[in-house]
Structure 1
Amino acid sequence: MKTDEGYSHALGNRQVQMIAIGGAIGVGLFLGSGGRLQAAGPALVLSYAVAGLAAFFVMRALGELVLYKPTSGSFVEYAADFVGPWAAFASGWMYWINWAFTGIAELTAISIYVSLWAPQFPRWLTALVALAFVLAVNLLSVRLFGELEFWFAMLKVLAICAFLVTGLALVIFGLDLGGSTAGIGNLTAHGGFFPNGFPVVLMSLQSVIFAYASIELVGIAAGETRNPRQIMPRAINGVVWRIAIFYVGSVLLLAMVLPWTAYGPGQSPFVTVFAALGVPWAADAMNLIVITAAMSSCNSGLYSTGRILRAMAVKGEAPAVAGRLSSRHVPYGGIMITASVLLAGVVLYYFIPERAFNIATAVASLGVVTTWGTLVYCQIGLRRAALRGLLERPSFRMPGSPYTNWLTLGFLALVVLLMPFADADQRIAFFCIPLLVVAIAVGWRIVDPRRRAGKAASRHRAPGQG
């Protein structure tokens, strides 16, 4: 059975474009950038720029692969085609790790945002209610998911644009904000551009990579998209300028509007800016929008992992329940598996609320690095196959390949190698790597014989049987 069989192909251009935008704007920017600014200072913009360049090459590699074969299996299918079935198994489960822990981080962020209005309400209960909502949306239909994600993404874009316009005006006119003057001077005042040194900027790369996570979601949506070969290049190219404007531009403006010392990990930096404006409703409006941003990312995580797990279940590489489709063409089995882990994350947050977000984002970033590395390496395989005349390479190609591939892979390796030298939460994630390697290796040893037996049985099955 094909991994896309049974899907409704209900996503149109409008929804795919917004899914791509939604993937490029997440809680890593809306919440995580506050703590990172406090740690690294204005030089954080360099981390975003370098990681953004890597993200650009990843997206172009994905674009070439999607045009070669649009599929909801995304990089899992490409890993099987250009590396081997073991790589598909490993990358699929690492992507699931990424989104499972990203979902925990998003639920944690939602509870932090809501506590601004209801500080006495249990944060773990807020996370539980948010999980129940996005689970219901995903189980109903892909059309509902696409429509909700369209509006979630629209709110994100409006929020970022409102901040960019406001921040630019504050900087240009040098207006007073919260007792300080907005302007370029804030980039070098209060300790200089590198107030805590250059190594701290390097150590921030892991969390910045997490901020860019989910830009690859548009590739998974290809399997449920009408006319993917027309829609996908536009959606993927659009991510490039979004990275430049929404991420690098926003962080640069945040550092100029207020001194870097004004930000912290407990509040969205965008809320901090609008609260400093003194407009009573502005901070509340921004807080509502960042809640929808976190809901959007959690919503997308359930969507993507449901499709990836089904693609793996079809090949016998995930529990059989993950391959089940509902009457509404929704892979409810895979969605429920991910939801169960998110529920465990709510329990984690109950016990260690002050560290749950950072631990979850650090572990999730391992999945992001694996996913990005898989896409970039698979594009190398596609290029090699095309040079040997085994397939026709799409006209939409990764620029600078294969040199940019190896540079990107080197950068991703650097991000992982720096983790044990950063904070305690990143060290926890780094020392999880051997456990993940062993778990995946054991899983493959169990799955591979079954997979081979299933293939042998299908080859020997007489025509017309089954």
Structure 2
Amino acid sequence: MATETPVTGQSLRHSLSIRQMTMIAIGGVIGAGLFVGSGSAIRTAGPGVLIAYGVVGAVVVLVMRMLAELAVAAPDSGSFSTYAGREIGHWAGLAIGWLYAYHWCVIIGFEAIAGAAIAHRLVPGVPSWLAALVFMCVLTGVNLVSVRSFGRFEFWFALIKVCAIVVFIALGLVAILGLFPGRAAPGLDNLTGQGGFLPHGLSAVMAAMLAVFLSFFGTEVITVAAGEAQRPAEAVRRSMRSVVWRILVFYIGSIFVVVTLLPWNSTEVTASPYTAVLKNLGIPGAGTVMDLIVLTAVLSCLNSGVYASSRMLYSMASRGEAPAIFARLNARTVPAAGVLISSAVGFVTVAANYFLPTEVIFQFLLNSSGAVAVVVYLCITVTQIRGRLRLRRTGAEDTLSVRMWGFPYLSGLVLVVLAAVILGMGNDTGKRESLVLTLIVTAIAVVAGLVLQRRKEIR
């Protein structure tokens, strides 16, 4: 499939159905960041991690509302990269597009390693590097076949993990109410004991927000997929309406179950909080079932990562902000070069995993990519503010069918919160290295964007 003759003069097909787009939106953020990364956040902040999830969740809801305002008005596979180029300058569109593609390439490796670790735990005879290699090959192939192939896989991946998280929360609530056979109600002991609700203070909650930001990243994929949807504006509008309850149910609801039923400083909670809860309830085979569900979620994020990165590269190449090869479509109207280059980072990570322990790779990827998500959200916020003010000046504000709530006050508040998160990372010695790495990558992308824009102006 990768060797098919590229087709020029074509555009992406509008093949994703409303049903597929809905499931992509609902399940797009449920991955290793929630099931595995939440353990690290709980260890850092204790029960106070609920504050971190609540604050970040509220910020993400507002950012997605801003992005919906932009995307419904002009659906595009380049999403916020296209809008940043229009409202801020070509340099901004190029910089944020490359940052986003880079981030997803890192996440692809992150998910491959996480999935391989689970597969090795389920079948110890299979080396983790081999499992990661198989996952990468299969999902790269899925994305090379067609966008419909991606949509079908993502639909079933999303359906499985959404059903699983709902069942998990239902079982947890039954146990919390003391209705689970053989289990007494835990009360508030785990929330207020073991050092209290904030055992390490509010500073620890700020530190936990980095991992939390990473777990939320992916909500915006629906606006990237809108470029290949059958009814893009309707699909984006529907999905963004559901973002509030998705965050309340999937994130805050499930984390509340974890920290209420188990001590936050338990080693089992740190390692795998969701599996630990089910094991604690004494459900036979629950650990294996949960591992399979987590594996599904991980593969879903890997699949989305390859898709999102390749489409962002396609959009940038179409605008002359990336090598032209990324804008060339094969006979199946798939940007094959983008799919392959996006997957390449995952394959490199698999090779590294052969020589290094899985935990080393996992933690490095987690720490090196989280701050990019904050930068992307900052760009979306600035883009929306500038775009809305432009429409207001030209008297075209009334043409928007979806608008940001409380503009400009809530948009400004989001800007302040995101800036505070970055400053907090600078004051945290444990996160400073990650921030420096992010700033270096961002600076390189911005300089490249400015140079390219200057060359276009000269021409």
Q: Provide the TM-score with structure 2 as the length reference.
A: 0.92
Q: Which residue of 2 aligns with 1:289?
A: 293
> Separation in 1 of the partners of 2:306 and 2:334?
11
What's the CA shift for 1:211? 0.7
Q: Which residue of 1 aligns with 2:205?
A: 201
Q: Which residue of 1 aligns with 2:346?
A: 342
Q: Which residue of 1 aligns with 2:418?
A: 412
Q: Does 1:66 align with 2:66?
A: no
> Separation in 1 of the partners of 2:349 and 2:269?
19
> Separation in 2 of the partners of 1:314 and 1:183?
57
The Cα offsets for residues 437-458 of structure 1, whole Å up to 9 and x where unpaired, read as 44224433553355457xx5xx
One of 49, 56, 59 as aligned partner of 2:61: 56
Query: Do the aligned partners of residues 445 and 11 (structure 1) sit closer, same or farther apart at CA in structure 2, a change above 3 Å counting?
Result: same
Is the CA contact (8 Å cut-off) linking 1:37 and 1:263 kept in structure 2? no
What's the CA shift for 1:174? 6.4
The Cα offsets for residues 148-206 of structure 1, whole Å up to 9 and x where unpaired, read as 100000011111001010000000016588x9863332211222111232211110011
Is the CA contact (8 Å cut-off) linking 2:262 and 2:269 kept in structure 1? no
Query: Do the aligned partners of residues 316 and 228 (structure 1) sit closer, same or farther apart at CA in structure 2, a change above 3 Å counting?
Result: closer
> Separation in 2 of the partners of 1:180 and 1:33?
25
> Separation in 1 of the partners of 2:203 and 2:31?
25
Unmatched 5+ stretches in structure 1: 457-466
Q: Which residue of 2 aligns with 1:402?
A: 408
> Separation in 2 of the partners of 1:352 and 1:439?
30
Q: Give 3-state SS (helix, strand or coil) of 1:115's partner.
A: helix
Residues 439-448 or 216-225, more deviating: 439-448
Q: Give 3-state SS (helix, strand or coil) of 1:279's partner.
A: coil
Is the CA contact (8 Å cut-off) linking 2:90 and 2:449 kept in structure 1? no
> Separation in 1 of the partners of 2:184 and 2:323?
57
> Separation in 2 of the partners of 1:265 and 1:187?
14
Q: Which residue of 2 aligns with 1:42?
A: 47
> Separation in 1 of the partners of 2:137 and 2:293?
19
Query: Do the aligned partners of residues 109 and 266 (structure 1) sit closer, same or farther apart at CA in structure 2, a change above 3 Å counting?
Result: farther
Q: Which residue of 2 aligns with 1:216?
A: 220
* RMSD (Å), alpha carbons: 2.2
The Cα offsets for residues 106-128 of structure 1, whole Å up to 9 and x where unpaired, read as 11211221232233532222222
Q: Does 1:372 align with 2:395?
A: no
Query: Do the aligned partners of residues 419 and 362 (structure 1) sit closer, same or farther apart at CA in structure 2, a change above 3 Å counting?
Result: same
Q: Does 1:241 align with 2:245?
A: yes
Q: Does 1:363 align with 2:368?
A: yes
What's the CA shift for 1:363? 2.4
> Separation in 2 of the partners of 1:204 and 1:196?
11
Q: Does 1:28 align with 2:33?
A: yes
Q: Which residue of 2 aligns with 1:459?
A: none
Is the CA contact (8 Å cut-off) linking 2:368 and 2:438 kept in structure 1? no
Q: Which residue of 1 aligns with 2:4?
A: none
Q: Which amino acid aligns with 1:289?
A: I
Q: Which residue of 1 aligns with 2:386?
A: 381
The Cα offsets for residues 324-378 of structure 1, whole Å up to 9 and x where unpaired, read as 2111111111111111112222233332422322221232222211221121211
Is the CA contact (8 Å cut-off) linking 1:315 and 1:451 kept in structure 2? no
One of 302, 306, 317 as aligned partner of 1:313: 317
Unmatched 5+ stretches in structure 2: 1-7
Q: Which amino acid aligns with 1:207?
A: A
Q: Which residue of 2 aligns with 1:182?
A: 186
Q: Give 3-state SS (helix, strand or coil) of 1:70's partner.
A: coil
The Cα offsets for residues 246-284 of structure 1, whole Å up to 9 and x where unpaired, read as 101111111111121235577431111112222332221
> Separation in 2 of the partners of 1:335 and 1:452?
31
Residues 10-19 or 382-391, more deviating: 382-391
Is the CA contact (8 Å cut-off) linking 1:316 and 1:447 kept in structure 2? no
Q: Which amino acid aligns with 2:206?
A: L
> Separation in 1 of the partners of 2:283 and 2:219?
33
Is the CA contact (8 Å cut-off) linking 1:96 and 1:367 kept in structure 2? no
Q: Which residue of 1 aligns with 2:279?
A: 275
Q: Which amino acid aligns with 1:258?
A: L
> Separation in 2 of the partners of 1:317 and 1:273?
48
Q: Which amino acid aligns with 2:143?
A: N
Is the CA contact (8 Å cut-off) linking 1:26 and 1:212 kept in structure 2? no
> Separation in 2 of the partners of 1:5 and 1:389?
34
Q: Give 3-state SS (helix, strand or coil) of 2:242's partner.
A: helix
Q: Give 3-state SS (helix, strand or coil) of 2:122's partner.
A: coil
Is the CA contact (8 Å cut-off) linking 1:4 and 1:71 kept in structure 2? no
Residues 330-339 or 191-200, more deviating: 191-200
Q: Does 1:6 align with 2:6?
A: no
Q: Provide the TM-score with structure 1 as the length reference.
A: 0.91
Is the CA contact (8 Å cut-off) linking 2:52 and 2:206 kept in structure 1? yes
Q: Which residue of 2 aligns with 1:106?
A: 111
> Separation in 2 of the partners of 1:149 and 1:77?
25
Is the CA contact (8 Å cut-off) linking 1:71 and 1:220 kept in structure 2? yes
What's the CA shift for 1:6? 1.3
What's the CA shift for 1:309? 0.4
> Separation in 1 of the partners of 2:43 and 2:180?
22
Matches within 5 A, 1:253-264: 253-264=257-268
One of 61, 76, 95 as aligned partner of 2:81: 76
> Separation in 1 of the partners of 2:443 and 2:194?
46
